[in-house]
Structure 1
Amino acid sequence: MKSLLQDPNQPRLIEVDAEAAGQRIDNFLFSRLKGVPKSHVYRILRTGQVRINGGRSKAQQRLSTGDVVRVPPVRVAVASEPERPAPWLRERLENRVLYEDEDILVVNKPPGMAVHGGSGLSFGVIEGLRAVREGARFLELVHRLDRDTSGCLLIAKRRSMLRQLHEQFRGDGVEKTYLALLSGVWTRQRQVVDAPLLKNVLQSGERMVKIAAEGKAAVTVFRRLELLSGATLVEARPVTGRTHQIRVHARSLGHPLAGDERYGDAGLNQAFRQRGLKRLFLHAATLGFTHPRSGREVRIEAPLESDLADFLMAVRL
């Protein structure tokens, strides 16, 4: 049972710093009024109880450094002690940090672990990292990886960094390469797949993506690295960043990813399992971007997971 505490009767005046600049006022309030229902936050905005520099504001208004936000007294729900990740999860994540400075962190995401909690999951990578770094004021995902995908995952430690990195990801400032295993023998050396993708959410909540003319533009460059027994190791470089892009584009080549239960071939996947592959063979091997603060080029590499490396050894010709 949650208890309710009454805040002081006087409104609070909060000056917006550089880290909060650029946020919408509703998101700013959500982060500072923990436990207050969103419907109530929108009501105090709609009724003019929240003021920015003395004036009324709409939910979508963005804040600037130095703005003064008046927040009326509200009743804040105090939650019970939150569940904490198991010690093994904390240790596993801490040991997988590939790069870290005062602004950003890159972790080698474990396979089989979602990037965030939800849909029955108490913890994902981001919740685990927040538990490991209890003193961190801000930790947010810059991008996402599928649950079964391992490799480079970028986390922002400052809101200003998150905004600038998002801009890079939306443009062409980020270079990502993946190691992927195609089912069957792919005879080409290199191929660019330029096929728009349309995302659908099924009644079960599962996301399915297909190639469709009305979809969003999507481009992936595939380059053959090695021919194996019944499979082909490739480097996949997504020029755009659509959901399940590499997986759907690989299927369009007639060579779905090995171990892909959603877009792959069930018979081939069964054969791969019998040879030792227990999951999707997709690994975010490198991540390159411009550091928002220093302007220098950063390139991070994540070593191939041992289970995938062992499987490659087993299927080499």
Structure 2
Amino acid sequence: MTAHPSPDLSRAPRRAPSGGRPAGPRGNRVNAAIAGGLAVLALATCAAAAHRPTLDPAQATAVAAELRALYERIQGSPAQRSAALVIAHVAREEPVRACMKSSGFRYTLAPFADPLADSPRLLLPTEVSAVVDPGAADALKLVPQAVAEEPEAAVARPKDPSYQRLSAAKRRLYDDTALMCEPPIEGQTEVSTPEVSGDLDAEFLDMLRRIGADVEVASRMEFYSSCMAKLGYPVHTVGELYAAVSAKFRDDEGTPLRPESSLMPHATAYQQEAVKADTTCRTPAWAGAMSLAQAELAAFTEDHADQLAALDAAWAALEARAAEARAKLA
């Protein structure tokens, strides 16, 4: 960090103090002392940032793991998020069954398709990943999947086993009734998570923004774009890198590449090298951020101990409700 030079008071127009008396030698000495003090303070601040101890890779990785764990404690682990989803799913299905029953039909609840079944952990938001992770590996590795995904087709509601024993006319009536019993989208039960989760999440992100805005961390991040450019990736942010990698998995018309496309090996290689480049160029800022995060994390956990304990209990209660919901699907 470079200290800004203090203003040259000798060249500044001299303003007479109250009473109209011109500043004398003593006044000049006071002004010089103030200017010197400000310069020393600026240099001391810069020196403190420049000499801030940086964690070694193992220590930084441990702090990052603690931050990820805290994020999942607040937002819920994949299993806890799935619990919230299955509760909402059953809450949407039960009114359909009741509606069908009132019309004289049996109805089997639709099975729950867990979108988080293959997720070992929740992906951090972009602003969090840039601070916590040494690179954008998680997001970049999912680019092919994200590009190739097509809008989900409407899933047909399951037919109860008794459907097969109905006459053709009764089957048509069953189908019409099932359609009529379908709840409107605006009236469907929303996924519910503990209320305190949102409050803590906002403060958690504020903590990470403070870390990212630190002078030393920010100065190290300025190195990112030039470093990436030297490695063949003219980008300034992870978002730009993600867009560049995504573009490689589409043809000139914007259509996602098919697995057998001759361009797929090139796109995959570009993606893999992008992960390596991002890790290389982001690590200096990440290591500095983890040095700050170590103390911030301890303070956050201590300051919010009661809220975190309440949140743990709320997630546990939600998982218990999810067990009851899953039993209804069996």
Q: Which has the higher strand share?
A: 1
TM over 0.5: no
Larger Rg: 2
Give TM-score, length-normalised by structure 1: 0.24
Structure with more helix by fraction: 2
Tell me the TM-score normalized by structure 2.
Answer: 0.23
Higher relative contact order (CA 8 A, sep 6+): 2
